[in-house]
Amino acid sequence: VDRTSNPWGKPQADRMQWAEGLGVRVLQPGETAPDVLFWLGCAPAFDERARKAAVATATLMQKAGVDFAVLGPREACTGDPARRMGDEYTFQRLAGENVATLNGARVKKIVTTCPHCFNTLGNEYGDFGGSYEVVHHSEFLAELVRDGKLSPVASDRTITYHDSCYLARHNDVRAQPRELVAAVGKPIEMPRNRERTFCCGAGGARMWMEEKRGRPINQERVREAAATGAETLAVACPFCTVMLDDGVRETGAKLQVFDLATLLAEAVERKQAT
CATH code 3.40.50 region(s) in the chain: 12-142, 151-273
Mean pLDDT of 64-84: 95
Residue pair 53/19 in contact (Cβ under 8 Å)? The answer is no
Alpha carbon dihedral 8, 9, 11, 12, in 10-degree steps, equals: 60
Q: How confident is the model at residue 210 (pLDDT cuts 50, 70, 90)?
A: low
At residue 188, the pLDDT reads: 97
Q: What is the pTM (predicted TM-score) of this model? A: 0.92
From the options 1.10.3470, 3.40.190, 3.90.320, 3.40.50, give the CATH code of 151-273.
Answer: 3.40.50
The answer on pLDDT for 7 being more than 80 is: no
At residue 200, the pLDDT reads: 82
Q: How confident is the model at residue 72 (pLDDT cuts 50, 70, 90)?
A: very high
Alpha carbon distance 225, 243 (integer Å): 13
The answer on pLDDT for 119 being more than 70 is: yes
At residue 205, the pLDDT reads: 54
DSSP letters along the chain, please? -TTTSSTT---GGGGGGGGTTT-PPBPPTTSPPPSEEEE--HHHHH-HHHHHHHHHHHHHHHHTT--EEB-GGG----SHHHHHTT-HHHHHHHHHHHHHHHHHTT--EEEES-HHHHHHHHHTGGGGT---EEEEHHHHHHHHHHTTSS-----S-EEEEPPPIIIIITS---HHHHHHHHHHSEE---SS-GGG----S-GGGGGGS---SSS-HHHHHHHHHHTTT-SEEEES-HHHHHHHHHHHHHHT-S-EEEEHHHHHHHHHHHHHH-
Alpha carbon distance 184, 254 (integer Å): 20
At residue 59, the pLDDT reads: 98
Percent of the chain with pLDDT over 70: 93
Residues 6+ apart with CB under 8 A from 252: none
Residue pair 134/105 in contact (Cβ under 8 Å)? The answer is no
Q: How confident is the model at residue 18 (pLDDT cuts 50, 70, 90)?
A: very high
pLDDT greater at residue 271 or residue 225: 225
At residue 221, the pLDDT reads: 94
Q: How confident is the model at residue 84 (pLDDT cuts 50, 70, 90)?
A: confident
The answer on pLDDT for 130 being more than 90 is: yes
Residue 9 CA, chain-centre distance (Å), reads: 20
At residue 237, the pLDDT reads: 94
Alpha carbon distance 199, 65 (integer Å): 35
- Compute the mean pLDDT over every residue in the chain, rounded to the nearest whole number: 92
The answer on pLDDT for 208 being more than 60 is: no
At residue 214, the pLDDT reads: 58
- Which of 85-89, 226-230, 257-261 is least confident? 85-89
Mean pLDDT of 127-140: 97
Mean pLDDT of 154-171: 94
Alpha carbon distance 19, 27 (integer Å): 14
CA angle 271, 67, 152 (to 5 degrees): 15
Under CATH, what is the fold of the domain 12-142? Answer: Rossmann fold (3.40.50)
